[in-house]
Amino acid sequence: MLIRGVSRTLMAAVVAVPLLAAGVADGRAEEGAGLPWQLLHYNHAYGVLDHETADAVEHSAYLRRFADFELRTTTGDEGQTWTGSYLLGRETYLELFKAGDLPGQDSRPGSGGLALSTEHANELPEVTDELRDEGVAAPIEFSQTRDFGDGRPVPWFDSVLTTQQYDTFGAWAMEYRPEYFADPRSETEPPSHPGDVGRERYLPDDYRRHLMRDVTGVRIAVTAQDLANTVPLLRAGDFVVLRRHGGVVAHGKGTTLRFDVVPAHRTGLRQVEMSLNRAPGYRHEERLGRSVLVVGPAARAVWTFGSPHGRP
């Protein structure tokens, strides 16, 4: 997974928790139901696409009208960089990469990741405590900086993950640093309440000039091992995690995450659902490489991705 420049020399023995042992429940639930409080929220997900689809995304004129779209190179710790296409919403966003554009094993087609974040300062230690309660013996903590290109890095966020051992997918919890918001180069908003380190403050308001508002659903195919390592984090963050045939569904406030268990050669981003700022009143279909984005007629868009491995 792309863990933003964390040193690969950090080692920790974290035993993957079987899904049922991690507390995955049977049954049905409304999305976000029974969640008066949620410690972690969907922040962003990323997927590594095949070259055809990634090129189509990168050069799409339609996506630049549809969303607050950025093609950006980011510099993190130790000078590590990554370049991707970003679709930014009010509180959430999506990162899409081309195979080969990320460091190490994260560059392979079908790789992906998920970031969950806190909304209030000093909540991340509680996530770490909850992970231990979920059976993660040694959660891995790290901090990340960001360099805006002037050689003066600023603390960006603190994070925690369950393991550094993964097949193609990993998830982490994060909390933005006050120093980042205080730095004028970040171009972030003033706090809306004391201790505000939330997603809406972090992201710009340019989404208002486009159709896309937020990511409301992500479906991704992962290996059984990667899912087992992800479930404790979802539960620690107060997602309602339900076992489904062939995978897991995790309901959170505003976003539903679906994980299909597959062999390693079939992993990858499958589908992204988005809310819109308004209902366009018509249906538009945009083909982008091996993917299809369907927008409208209601205030909703669904983006479906073909296999990045070149096979069904």
Residue-by-residue DSSP string for 294-311:
EE-SSSEEEEEE--TTS-
Residue labelled with tokens 């055809």 = 52
Radius of gyration of the CA atoms of the chain, in A? 18
Residues of the chain with pLDDT under 50: 1-33, 312
- Which residue segment(s) compose the domain that 156 sits in? 41-305
The greatest distance separating any two alpha carbons of the chain, rounded to the nearest whole angstrom, comes to 53
Q: Give pLDDT, residue 20.
A: 37
Secondary structure of 99-110 in HEC code, one letter for each residue: CCCCCHHHHCCC
Starting from the edge strand earliest in sequence, which strands make up the sheet with 140-146, in order?
Answer: 68-75, 81-88, 93-98, 41-49, 112-117, 169-176, 154-161, 140-146
- How long a stretch of residues is the chain? 312
Q: Give pLDDT, residue 223.
A: 98
Query: Does a structural domain hold residue 19?
Result: no
Query: Does a structural domain hold residue 3?
Result: no
Cα–Cα distance, 124 to 118 (Å, whole number): 7
Tell me the backbone φ, ψ of residue 96, rounded to 5 degrees. -125, 130
Cα–Cα distance, 229 to 146 (Å, whole number): 27
CB atoms within 10 A of CB 288: 22
Query: Does a structural domain hold residue 310?
Result: no
Query: Does a structural domain hold residue 145?
Result: yes
Q: Give pLDDT, residue 78.
A: 64
Residue (of 120, 101, 124) closest to 111 by Cα position? 101
Q: Give pLDDT, residue 82.
A: 77
Judging by beta carbons within 10 Å of its beta carbon (0-12, 13-18, 19+), is residue 16 exposed, middle or buried?
buried
Query: Does a structural domain hold residue 113?
Result: yes
Query: Does a structural domain hold residue 295?
Result: yes
Angle among Cα 18, 24, 28 to the nearest 5 degrees reads 155
Per residue in 195-242, pLDDT (tens digit) is 999 999 999 999 999 999 999 999 999 999 999 999 999 999 999 999
Q: Give pLDDT, residue 311.
A: 54
Give the dihedral sign, CA 166/171/173/174.
Answer: positive
Q: Give pLDDT, residue 283.
A: 98
Q: Give pLDDT, residue 33.
A: 45
Query: Does a structural domain hold residue 208?
Result: yes
* Number of domains making up the chain: 1
Q: Give pLDDT, residue 76.
A: 67
Query: Does a structural domain hold residue 28?
Result: no
